[in-house]
Structure 1
Amino acid sequence: MLLNSQLTTSIHPGDLCVCAPTGSGKTLAYVLPILHHLLQKRMRKLRCLIILPTRDLVQQVYKVVEKYAKGTSLKFTSCTGQTSFEAEQKLLVSFNKVTGAYESLVDIVVATPGRLLDHLGSTRGFTLQYLRFLVLDEADRLFYESYYDWLSKTLKSIYSADEPFREEPVVLTPAFIQIPTLPLQKLVFSATLTPNPQKLSALRLQFPKFITAATYEKFVTPEKLKEYKIVCSTLEKPLVLVYLLQKLNFKNVLCFTSSVESTHRLFLLLKLFGGISVAEYSSLLPQKTKEHVLEAFKCNQIDVLVCSDSMARGMDLENVEKVICFDAPFHMKANFYYCYILLFLLLL
């Protein structure tokens, strides 16, 4: 094969799939290396996109990025729909009247899939053509929700046909020769990474490496977890719960229900019983209210936090002492999911 000055050997850095339990430091595992890499870049371009399934997780990861990027020249923002669309646009791009072109105002964006698609479709000058890192955190949950085919639309935007320096590789070997392209590294993180090849294939991974810090044995209880079960009728469940909370003086409790409606109903019921400092946490609450509730729980101002599955994955609460599964789960995916048990009490 003939070579000239325009051709070079292209070796992809390799995509990563990481499976590790919640609380094991997954966020820092990608935030710190990415920040270190981006500090070497002098021109401001959107080079890192972090996608998470919920607003709460976006805010949690954003705070980590904010903490460790403080004092550097890196700029970052979050896109969740919590603020107006126009306000987010002003933080993402600006129009340079001198050059007559749009310029990125950020190096890193942390976003939900839905809001990302909104900006890709409606924000002029917002582009993923310079993207170096695409991070999918809580990937299983992202795959579970279609979000209007967000993944294929995101990849299509990255590998746009009118950007010749960003071509999606077809054949990748160390000896593959092509016009120099900007490599995109995909980093996939999850506590329960899907084994479904069909969903993983949609990512179009290149030279993927799989890293795990979790065991693959099914239904294994963590060593420091003490587990108890109480079998009772549906009508007796609220009374049993109140007994545990009042008579046994349970504090710092997370109580999971099966739906948003069940969360609100149980919250009102516990409030009517009295003698218990209780709050609810679900997707129906405004973002500011949820942040206030979490802060109050962390400060031991709330004894019991009744929550839906929005709290089930990825959220970081340090002072939880007990976890109660009030409703029986629909699927046996976690090691403490058992059929026909109506109330679980997990003592940490």
Structure 2
Amino acid sequence: MAAAGLASLGLRPWVAEQAERLGIRQPTPVQRNCIPAILRGQDCLGCAKTGSGKTAAFVLPILQKLSEDPYGIFCLVLAPTRELAYQIAEQFRVLGKPLGLRDCVIVGGMNMVTQALELSRKPHIVIATPGRLADHIRSNNTFSLKKIKFLVLDEADRLLEQGCTDFTQDLEPIIAAVPAKRQTLLFSATLTDTLQELKKIAMNKPFFWESETEVRTVTELDQRYLLVPERVKEAFLVHIIQKFQDEHEDWSIIIFTNTCKMCQILNMMLRRFNFPCGALHSTMKQKQRFSTLSQFKSSIFKILVATDVASRGLDIPTVHVVINHNTPGLPKIYIHRVGRTARAGRHGISITLVTQYDIHLVHAIEEETKTKLKEFPVDEGNVLKILTHVNVTRRECEIELESTDFGEKKEINKRKQMILEGKDPDMELKRKKELAKIKEGKQRFKQRLQETLEREAATRLKHKLLKKKRRQQKVAGKMK
């Protein structure tokens, strides 16, 4: 039945059989709509909820097209994170086994010379993060992307948006290196925000499919919030984790936070409370990231503390709880984070810790997801009992982290990137300091001006009140 269902989309029997071995028994809506369009040769923009089978929606038709005319490099897939790139490569390997598929993963944190050799051997599929592939294009002429048939952008909105990690500079040389005549496939859970930018890249009258329902999160997800004061957030976090560990010992939890430093501090702190956990963030070495993720997937530890590198595309079906240590600033970040649980029809729960400054962010999330978040009940008395212990432990972890070279690698990479761009890192640092000094001077001037204006306003008000008082005294004297 499964093979017949996939075959009805135009897929060959061998492709359908391979999909069945991977557990794809019936096509999901995104597969049912996008696969025929891709097989027809159309560009495709697909928008669907997390966990809806978007990766297979482009992997299956690409493999079929490759089997008709096998050559390398046939397809380029771009992903925003290293972990997602390796996950996509794994699907290509499993589904493309009958073809003797050759793939190559090009991401940061790995040896560039080894990667250059792999690219020179002309693999069928290249899966890459934009930064590292752009480095190879700028410095390496042993491979060419001029004959690719498919360009795929997975989590396309993240690749094209301008934010804390801006891929624009890296995408420009990549787009210039691929042929204009190609099929461009773009997939994401939150595609509509950058639809105009996506249309600029996929110019060949693309087939566009968006999930019929406007709800961006699955109905199996129980979405909660907890209003907490900023300074006691960690105490509530420890209490919630302890509650889940006591009631459901086998449950796995992902805790999302907004910075690498906070991720590391929370991981250190939770370990001191004897919680089995690991950290995943961008300043870790790639081997550490692989190790952490594999240990979490195999339940060696049940808690993963992560930045948003773990929020996109990672398929870990057994995650039961997602906790947002910070309220995401954008609703789509929230959607991707909570999409790590309640996957493939399973149930899950998400809890967002909300401070007094985040109420407007919760309202934006509710408006985007068309879902009202419910309050998560806690016993505040139990939180107060552990408050001092948690705050002291957190401070100890902060001091310990400050004594290490945490964040030093990030600065080294920034300097390397500046040198590659032909800039002098020392001159850039000097220029930034000068600009900061000018900015600080302007702020001080504005502050002094504001203080002067306030003093003048206060003096005028004082004079006005004195005049009023004198008039009242004169009137009172005449009446006597």
Structure-2-length-normalised TM-score: 0.58
What root-mean-square deviation, in Å, do the aligned CA atoms of Structure 1 and Structure 2 show? 2.7
Is the Cα–Cα contact under 8 Å of residues 324 and 346 in structure 1 kept in the other structure? no
CA 31–345 in structure 1, closer or farther in 2 if over 3 Å, else same: farther
What is the CA-CA distance between 1:248 and the residue it aligns to? 4.2
**1:129 matches 2:129:** no
**Which residue does 2:45 correspond to in 1?**
17
Q: Secondary structure at the match of 2:151?
A: strand
Structure-1-length-normalised TM-score: 0.78
**Which residue does 2:157 correspond to in 1?**
140
Is the Cα–Cα contact under 8 Å of residues 157 and 193 in structure 2 kept in the other structure? no
What is the CA-CA distance between 1:290 and the residue it aligns to? 1.7
**1:229 matches 2:225:** yes
**Which residue does 2:107 correspond to in 1?**
80
**1:156 matches 2:176:** yes
Aligned match for 2:207, one of 206, 209, 233 = 209
What is the CA-CA distance between 1:75 and the residue it aligns to? 1.6
Higher Cα radius of gyration = 2
**Which residue does 1:320 correspond to in 2?**
319
Deviates more, 1:140-149 or 1:312-321: 140-149
The 5 Å alignment of 1:2-151 reads 13-42=41-70, 44-93=71-120, 104-144=121-161, 145-147=165-167, 149-151=169-171
Rounded to whole Å, the distance in 2 between the matches of 1:271 and 1:345 is 28
Amino acid at match of 2:263: T
Rounded to whole Å, the distance in 1 between the matches of 2:102 and 2:84 is 19
**Which residue does 2:257 correspond to in 1?**
257
What is the CA-CA distance between 1:155 and the residue it aligns to? 2.6
Q: Secondary structure at the match of 1:109?
A: strand
Rounded to whole Å, the distance in 1 between the matches of 2:92 and 2:260 is 30
Q: Secondary structure at the match of 1:235?
A: helix
Rounded to whole Å, the distance in 1 between the matches of 2:188 and 2:243 is 38
Amino acid at match of 2:175: L
Count of residue correspondences: 300
For residues 257-315 of structure 1, give each alpha carbon's deviation from its aligned partner in whole angstroms, at most 9, with x where no partner exists.
121111111111212223x1121111122222222222222222212211111111111
For residues 136-160 of structure 1, give each alpha carbon's deviation from its aligned partner in whole angstroms, at most 9, with x where no partner exists.
000011012443533332232224x
Q: Secondary structure at the match of 1:135?
A: strand
Unaligned runs of 5+ in 1: 1-11, 94-103, 160-167, 169-182
Is the Cα–Cα contact under 8 Å of residues 154 and 188 in structure 2 kept in the other structure? yes
What is the CA-CA distance between 1:232 and the residue it aligns to? 1.5
Deviates more, 1:68-77 or 1:33-42: 68-77
Rounded to whole Å, the distance in 1 between the matches of 2:269 and 2:103 is 42
Identity of aligned residues (%): 31
Q: Would you tell me which structure has more helix in proportion to its own residues?
A: 2
CA 243–139 in structure 1, closer or farther in 2 if over 3 Å, else same: same
For residues 25-57 of structure 1, give each alpha carbon's deviation from its aligned partner in whole angstroms, at most 9, with x where no partner exists.
111111111111111225x33110001111111
Deviates more, 1:191-200 or 1:107-116: 191-200
For residues 91-134 of structure 1, give each alpha carbon's deviation from its aligned partner in whole angstroms, at most 9, with x where no partner exists.
111xxxxxxxxxx5211100111122122222223112211000
Q: Secondary structure at the match of 2:99?
A: coil
Rounded to whole Å, the distance in 2 between the matches of 1:344 and 1:287 is 38
Amino acid at match of 1:75: R
Is the Cα–Cα contact under 8 Å of residues 93 and 101 in structure 2 kept in the other structure? no
Q: Secondary structure at the match of 1:27?
A: helix
Amino acid at match of 2:173: K
Rounded to whole Å, the distance in 1 between the matches of 2:212 and 2:326 is 26
Is the Cα–Cα contact under 8 Å of residues 157 and 191 in structure 2 kept in the other structure? yes
Q: Secondary structure at the match of 2:214?
A: coil
Amino acid at match of 1:34: I
CA 331–83 in structure 1, closer or farther in 2 if over 3 Å, else same: closer
Is the Cα–Cα contact under 8 Å of residues 134 and 171 in structure 2 kept in the other structure? no
What is the CA-CA distance between 1:203 and the residue it aligns to? 0.4
CA 344–319 in structure 1, closer or farther in 2 if over 3 Å, else same: farther
CA 202–252 in structure 1, closer or farther in 2 if over 3 Å, else same: same
Is the Cα–Cα contact under 8 Å of residues 89 and 127 in structure 2 kept in the other structure? yes
What is the CA-CA distance between 1:346 and the residue it aligns to? 8.4
Amino acid at match of 1:53: P
Q: Would you tell me which structure has more strand in proportion to its own residues?
A: 1
Amino acid at match of 2:261: E
Is the Cα–Cα contact under 8 Å of residues 58 and 112 in structure 1 kept in the other structure? yes
What is the CA-CA distance between 1:214 and the residue it aligns to? 5.6
What is the CA-CA distance between 1:247 and the residue it aligns to? 3.8
**Which residue does 2:297 correspond to in 1?**
298
What is the CA-CA distance between 1:215 and the residue it aligns to? 2.6
CA 74–228 in structure 1, closer or farther in 2 if over 3 Å, else same: closer
Greater relative contact order, per chain length (Cα 8 Å cut-off, separation 6+)? 1
